[in-house]
Structure 1
Amino acid sequence: MSTARKLAPATLAAVLALTIAPAAQAQTTATAAPSAVDQAGWVLHASAQDKAYLRQAHRGHLAEIAAGRAALRESRDRGVRAIAWRLIRDHRRLDARLRSVADRLDVRIPDAPSAEQRAALRAVTARSGHRFDRAWLRLQADAHYRSLRLAQVELRLGHSEWVKDLARDSAPVIRHHLRMIRAEQ
C-alpha cells in the first residue's frame, strides 16, 4: 500500500474535524444563554439597589468635593481647612473607583450633586467666619452619616460584589472623616 493511500484516511479525518468542530461549537454557543457572571463568579449586571447606590454615592462624593473646595475658599480655621483637604483627596479617590465600577456595569451616573445637596451647600456658604465653620461641620457630619447608612443598605440588599466592595471599602474612610469632624466641632 502506498504512503498516499495510508495518509488519505487520516487527512480526511483531520479535514472533517476542522470543519465540523467550529460549526458544532458555533451552534452550542448560539443556543447557550448569555453569561451574567465573570471568571471570578461576580455578577456582571447591577440590580436596582446597586444602581441606586452607585448614583447616590457618586453624588455624595461630588458634594463632598464641592464642600471641601468651598471650605478652602471661605474658612480661615486650620482644622476646617485640614478636613476640607482630606475630604477632597479621599472622595476623589473613592469616586474614581466608583466610576470604574459604574463603567464596568454600564450604569449611568449623574454629573452633579443633587439639588438638595447644592442648596444645603449654598445655605452654608451664605454664612461667614465662625458661623460658616460650624454650619459646614454640621453639614459634613450629616452627609457622612447618610453615606454610612447608604453603604449599610447596599451591603444588606445589593447583588453586585463589585458594588458591595465599594460600600465595604468606603465605610472606614467615611468613619475616619466623621471622627475628624466630631473632633473639630
Structure 2
Amino acid sequence: MLAFTLAPAAQAQSPTPETAAVAPAGWAPRVSAQDREYLRQAHRGHLAEIAAGRAALRESRDRDVRGIAARLIRDHGRLDARLREAARRLDVRLPGSPSVEQRRELRAVVARSGHRFDRAWLRLQAEAHQDALRLGERELRRGHSRWVKDLARDSAPVIRHHLHMVRTEL
C-alpha cells in the first residue's frame, strides 16, 4: 500500500538526469517561462563572455587581462556546455549568438587600444558578471525547474570569482 501512495509524488517531481534517460520519447519535464528565459539569457551571457575573452586575447598586451580572458573562455565554455545539455533535455531552444546589445558593447571596447582597451574591457566584464549574478538570483527566486535552478546555483561561485578577479585588476 505504501508503494502506491509514494508513486504519484515521485512522478510529480522533476526527473533527475539519470531518470530522464528512461522517460518516454517526446516527454520533457515542466519548464516555466522564467526557466526558459534564464536558460536563454545565461546562454547569451556565456557566448558574450567567450567572445569578449577571445577579443582580449587578440587585443590586449597586459598579461593579467589575458590571463583573466583565458579563464573566462574556459569557465564559461564549461558552464555553457552544461547549460546546453539541460536545455536539450528540457526541449528549450537557445539563441545562436550574444544579444545585439552585448555585441554592440564589445565592439565599442574593441574599438579602443592599449591601456584604454584593457580598462574598458575590465569594466564591461564587471558589469556583465554583476548582471549574470542578478539573473541567477532571479532564477533561484522565481524558477520552477530543479535542473535550471541547480545551474544557477552552481554557476554563482564561478561568476563571483570572475567578478573578484576583474575588480582586483581594475
TM value normalised by structure 1:
0.79
| Offset of residue 70 of structure 1 | 0.1
What per-residue deviation string (whole Å, max 9, x for no partner) do you get for residues 56-97 of structure 1? 000000000000000000000001000000000000000000
Which residue, out of 39, 44, 48, partners 1:59? Answer: 44
Matched, 1:48 2:33: yes
Contact kept, 8 Å, 1:36 with 1:45, in 2: the verdict is no
| Offset of residue 38 of structure 1 | 4.7
The 1:165–1:96 alpha-carbon spacing in structure 2 relative to 1, beyond 3 Å, is: same
Q: Which amino acid aligns with 1:117?
A: Q
Q: Who is 1:163 aligned against? A: 148
Identity rate, percent: 74
Which residue, out of 67, 75, 84, partners 1:90? Answer: 75
Cα separation, 1, equivalents of 2:43 and 2:144: 18
Matched, 1:184 2:160: no
Q: What stretches of structure 1 move > 3 A for 4+ residues in a row? A: 35-43
Contact kept, 8 Å, 2:15 with 2:29, in 1: the verdict is no
Q: Which amino acid aligns with 2:104?
A: A
RMSD (Å), alpha carbons: 1.9
Which residue, out of 36, 47, 64, partners 1:79? Answer: 64
Gaps of 5+ in 2: 1-10, 21-27
Cα separation, 1, equivalents of 2:35 and 2:117: 35
Contact kept, 8 Å, 1:65 with 1:91, in 2: the verdict is yes
Cα separation, 1, equivalents of 2:162 and 2:116: 21
Matches within 5 A, 1:90-169: 90-169=75-154
TM value normalised by structure 2:
0.85
| Offset of residue 45 of structure 1 | 2.0
What per-residue deviation string (whole Å, max 9, x for no partner) do you get for residues 31-56 of structure 1? xxxx6645559981210000000000
Contact kept, 8 Å, 2:14 with 2:146, in 1: the verdict is no
Contact kept, 8 Å, 1:36 with 1:44, in 2: the verdict is no
SS in 2 for 1:46: coil
SS in 2 for 1:121: helix
The 1:130–1:179 alpha-carbon spacing in structure 2 relative to 1, beyond 3 Å, is: same
Q: Who is 1:26 aligned against? A: none
What per-residue deviation string (whole Å, max 9, x for no partner) do you get for residues 87-121 of structure 1? 00000000000000000100000000000000000
Cα separation, 2, equivalents of 1:155 and 1:47: 13
Gaps of 5+ in 1: 1-34
Q: Which structure has the greater CA radius of gyration?
A: 1
